[in-house]
Structures are given as C-alpha cells and as structure tokens.
Amino acid sequence: MSQQTAETVGVLLRQVRSHRGWTQGQLASELGTSQSAVARMEQGKQNLSLKMIQRIEDILGQRIVSIGAPKMTHLRVEGGHRLSGAVDVNTSKNAGVALLCASLINRGTTTLRRLARIEEVNRIVEVLTSIGVECTWLDAADGEPRDLQIRRPAVLDLDAMDVEAARRTRSVIMLLGPLLDERSEYRLPYAGGCDLGTRTVEPHMQALREFGLAVEATAGFYTVRAPEADGADRSFVLTERGDTVTENAIMAAAHREGVTVIRNASPNYMVQDLCFYLQGLGVQIDGVGTTTLRILGTSRVDVDIDYWPSEDPIEAMSLITAGIVTNSEVTVRRVPIEFMEIELATLATMGQKLEVSGEYTARNGRTRLVDVTVLPSELHAAADKIHPMPFPGLNIDNLPFFAVIAANATGQTMIHDWVYENRAIYLTELNKLGANVQLLDPHRIYVNGPTKWRAAEIGCPPALRPAACILLAMLAARGTSELRNIYVIERGYQDLAERLNSIGAKIEYFQD
C-alpha cells in the first residue's frame, strides 16, 4: 500500500470514528487491534495487512482499496514447487476457544499470550464482547497484536449475546460450564460450526446435569436453568471421552466448592492446556493427562494471570503434510510431541524419513516441544488401516491429512474415520486434483496411490481439515489451482497461505 493510500485510509478512519463517537480504544476493539495501532493508522504510519484492510472495510461499509488488496475469499495456488526452510507451529485453536470461555470464571484479568488470530477465536471474542466482557488486543512490537487481555464485568449481560457470532461456532457450548452460577435462567443459541454430520451435545447435558443444570432445546436456543451453587462432592463418568464435554465438566467443577471426580475424561492437548490455566487460577486439579480428574473447585476466583496456550498438533500435522506432499525438506518447529507421536510413527511405517530434535518446553512451562524435519522420501501404503482414537491415539483431526499423504504413497491405504458421519466424504474432492479416493461407506475410504497431481478449481467443503487437505494437495499439483471460499480454513489457521509462502509455496489471495 502506498503512503498516500495509507494516509487516505487514516483520514477515513478518523472521520468514521468521530462520526460514531468512538474513542481510538473503541475502534481498536472493533478492529481487533490495539489503541496505539489505531493511532498510527490514523496518521498513515501503520503498515496495513490485507486482513486489517478487510476489517476496516467492514467497519466503514465501503471498499477502501480497489487494487492490490482484495478480500481474502479465494486462493490461487501455483503448485509443483518444492518447499524449503523452517516454519513455526502456532498456538492451538482448540485450547484457544476453551481458554476464552474459561476466562469467564476469573474475576481478575486474564491475558492469553500468542492466541491464534483465527476466525473461530474472533467469533468467541465477539460473543464475549457482546455480553460485556472487555477484550483488548495488546500492542505487539513485531506486527499484528496476538495477546488478548480479558476482563469480565461483575454481571454479564447474557441477553445481549451476539447470536449470529454464537451460531457460527460449536465452541459456544463451552459457555455452559463457566456460566453455571451466573444466573438462574438464560438462553444460549444452538452451537454451529463445520458441517461434519450429526454431533451430539447430549454428553455435555449429561455431565452438566450432575451439577443440577437443566437444559431445554427450543426454537434455535437452549433454555438453561441452573440451581443455587452447592458445596457438594460429586463423582461421575462421561458417556463419551469427548474433548469439549470434558472441558465443560472441568469448568463447571472449577467454580463449585467441593470435590468433583470426572472419569472417562479426555486427556487431550486442549484439556491439558485448560487444566494448566485453571491451576494458575488456584483450582486444584489432579490427574491432568489421565482419564480420571479430581478437581477441588473454588467459588470465587479473582486472579490476574498471563497464560500461554501451547502449540497446535493439528497445525503441526498440516505443515508436516505440506512438506511430505511436495517431497521437500522442511523443518516444522515447535511440534507438541506428546500429541504427535503416533502420527510420526505411522508416517515412519510408510517410509517417510523424519528427523526429530531434542525436546524443549513450551511457553506454558508444561508441554514438550520438538522440531521435526521432513525429508524427501519414497512412500508406500501403510500395511494396516489408519484410524483415529481419543488421545493417546492418532488424533481425529489429523486423520484427513493421511488421505493426502496416502495419495502420494504407492499402494492402497484404508482410512477409517469412525468419528464423523460426513468428514471422509469430503476427501473424495481430492479426486478433482488427480487422486484416486474411493468411498466405501460414509466412514471408510481407500486411497490408491501414487498420484500424479493436476491443478483444478475447487470450492472449499464445509469442513476445516478436508479443506486444508485440498489446499495442501494443490501445492503438489503442477499448474494453477483455485480454492474458493476459504472462511472454513481461516476458522482454524492463521495466515496459512502466508506461512506456506514463507517456505516457498506460491499462493495468492483473490476475489471475484
């Protein structure tokens, strides 16, 4: 963007701000940035990312730049290039959204450091802001602010909840636990999110009923009735070892006096991150990383806390896959190894050469990280079917990446996604890029490789990981591919195209 354009944008911003009677701080929170960044923008002294331009356009209600700054709705991928270099894994979407919900338990200030700036986080921040929570992105010395400061008011305005934002994410269901003692009755919009087939919320209801919560589903809303807080001890088993249901139960237990024992709890990465944060708030939790959690809650939490969510094993798998499908040497740094061991072992059985560094500790002080270098390899199909399991197993969200990898391998691989009704179906879209994916039933595919990838134009399926898989396969396909309508990818990845470009991919954003 030229200096003159930056100054013009600055003048427009100042005008719209004074017209609306906003302070720079208020505009900053609308834009998801800091007050000082707004001050620099108004003076034409801030480099504006394409994303920021898009946010500004949304607020102004008009296009501000007609050339060179399109809305980032589609991607054009010039494939067939080898990648090289190193790329860092970001903090996880799934811990991020759980921690945002959990911050409501705290009456003090929570600062989430290096939170992933993704659409899923944006939706939850919109929901929190709408009910009166102050969410402020803190200034960053090195570009876009990533640290979010959160402070709740004494009383939340639950009736003012941004229903549209809430309906775009399933994570909103995780407000039930933190809001347990907020009000005796309120409404929560039905949880939305990716279209992966039926996803039950019944296990959440079963767990929360243990705390006395009653939920009735009516016309797009859950009507929630909560009893008076009690100091009782309770012990129950989850019917499913689900991640968000475990988190909901933990968050409910965290602010009830008394001991709660949760059995068949998920020990997965986002649950561990949530437990570490709550421990920082003074909640006693034993058994973190196991399937039995013992929680001694506390009815009033008022702590100023800085928490660093840990790195995302699913993003790690995505970046490793980028290296594998392009047959490149790429180093993926900051891989949370505890949650990637089975994935890496499975890759090794397929002939993938990998170098794994020594371990170091994530910024949360707990999670173990390594750097993984992917080396050019001759892949063959896995001898056995590849299927996911709750942790410690091959991660359910990492399974789709094995379809792209299997397409590069010689032979036939069976992939069995028993978890989601619809997700495997979307992987047949890889056939448009030259793959041979055979759908056996809604849960099982055969992938026949190797593939001679070819460029194609494909609309993103309404599911995050399959959409990311298509993008990664496009990196391998010679020629120019187009991936249309990428909101679903931006729901879970921050600047994925830019970061792939930093290791040699050639991806650009465009708009019709």
Ligand X SMILES: CC(=O)N[C@H]1[C@@H](OP(=O)(O)OP(=O)(O)OC[C@H]2O[C@@H](n3ccc(=O)[nH]c3=O)[C@H](O)[C@@H]2O)O[C@H](CO)[C@@H](O)[C@@H]1O
Ligand Y SMILES: C=C(OP(=O)(O)O)C(=O)O
The entry of ligand X, ligand Y, none that residue 419 binds, CB within 5 to 8 Å by partner kind: ligand X
Q: If binding is defined by CB under 6 A, does position 474 make contact with ligand X?
A: no
Q: If binding is defined by CB under 6 A, does position 423 make contact with ligand X?
A: no
Q: x/- string (CB under 6 A) for ligand Y, residues 162-201?
A: --------x----------------------xx-x-----
Q: x/- string (CB under 6 A) for ligand X, residues 375-394?
A: ---------------x----
Question: What is the Cα–Cα distance from 476 to 323, expressed in whole angstroms?
Answer: 10
Query: Cβ of residue 246: shortest distance to ligand X, in angstroms?
Result: 8
Q: If binding is defined by CB under 6 A, does position 243 make contact with ligand X?
A: yes
Query: Of 55, 107, 183, 199, which one interacts with ligand X (CB under 6 A)?
Result: 199
Question: What is the Cα–Cα distance from 115 to 409, expressed in whole angstroms?
Answer: 35
Question: What is the Cα–Cα distance from 463 to 428, expressed in whole angstroms?
Answer: 13
Question: Which amino acid does the sequence have at 435?
Answer: A
Cα distances (angstroms) measured from residue 272 to each of 22, 94, 213, 247, 338 = 40, 11, 25, 9, 11
- What residues numbered 83-142 form the site for ligand Y, per CB under 6 A? 120
Q: Quick check: 255 and 226 in contact, CB under 8 A? A: no
Q: If binding is defined by CB under 6 A, does position 398 make contact with ligand X?
A: no
Question: What is the Cα–Cα distance from 377 to 431, expressed in whole angstroms?
Answer: 23
Question: Which amino acid does the sequence have at 261?
Answer: V
Structure tokens belonging to residue 88: 């860092």
Structure tokens belonging to residue 96: 């991020």
For 389, what's the count of Cα atoms within 13 Å in the CB-facing half-sphere? 9
- What residues numbered 41-80 form the site for ligand X, per CB under 6 A? none
Question: What is the Cα–Cα distance from 456 to 381, expressed in whole angstroms?
Answer: 25
Give the residue with the Cβ less far from ligand Y, 106 or 171.
Answer: 171
Token look-up 């701000």 returns 17
Q: Quick check: 254 and 279 in contact, CB under 8 A? A: no
Candidates 149-157, 236-244, 301-309, 439-447 — which segment interacts with ligand X by CB under 6 A? Answer: 236-244
The entry of ligand Y, ligand X, none that residue 454 binds, CB within 5 to 8 Å by partner kind: none
Candidates 240-248, 353-361, 373-381, 469-477 — which segment interacts with ligand X by CB under 6 A? Answer: 240-248
Query: Of 270, 386, 415, 472, which one interacts with ligand X (CB under 6 A)?
Result: 270
Query: Of 42, 210, 311, 397, which one interacts with ligand Y (CB under 6 A)?
Result: 397
Q: Quick check: 178 and 101 in contact, CB under 8 A? A: yes
Token look-up 């921690």 returns 99
- What residues numbered 342-381 form the site for ligand Y, per CB under 6 A? none
Q: If binding is defined by CB under 6 A, does position 244 make contact with ligand X?
A: yes
Residues 203, 194, 216: CA angle, nearest 5 degrees = 40
Query: 43: closest CA among 81, 8, 2, 79?
Result: 8
Q: If binding is defined by CB under 6 A, does position 170 make contact with ligand X?
A: yes
Query: Of 124, 492, 495, 507, which one interacts with ligand Y (CB under 6 A)?
Result: 492
Which bin fits 112, alpha (ψ -120 to 50), beta or left (φ > 0)? beta
Q: x/- string (CB under 6 A) for ligand X, residues 82-121?
A: ------------x--x------------------------
Q: If binding is defined by CB under 6 A, does position 168 make contact with ligand X?
A: no
Give the residue with the Cβ less far from ligand Y, 174 or 455.
Answer: 174
The size of the interface with ligand Y (CB under 6 A), counted in residues, is 9
Question: What is the Cα–Cα distance from 105 to 134, expressed in whole angstroms?
Answer: 14
Token look-up 């465009």 returns 510
Query: Cβ of residue 349: shortest distance to ligand X, in angstroms?
Result: 23
Give the residue with the Cβ less far from ligand X, 188 or 433.
Answer: 188
The entry of ligand X, ligand Y, none that residue 492 binds, CB within 5 to 8 Å by partner kind: ligand Y
Cα dihedral 342/448/443/344 (nearest 10)? 10
Query: Of 1, 435, 464, 483, which one interacts with ligand Y (CB under 6 A)?
Result: 464
Neighbours of 160 (CB within 10 A): 11
**Interface positions with ligand X (CB under 6 A):** 94, 97, 170-171, 199-200, 240-245, 270, 390, 396-397, 419
User: Which residues here bind ligand Y, judged by CB under 6 A?
Assistant: 120, 170, 193-194, 196, 397, 464-465, 492
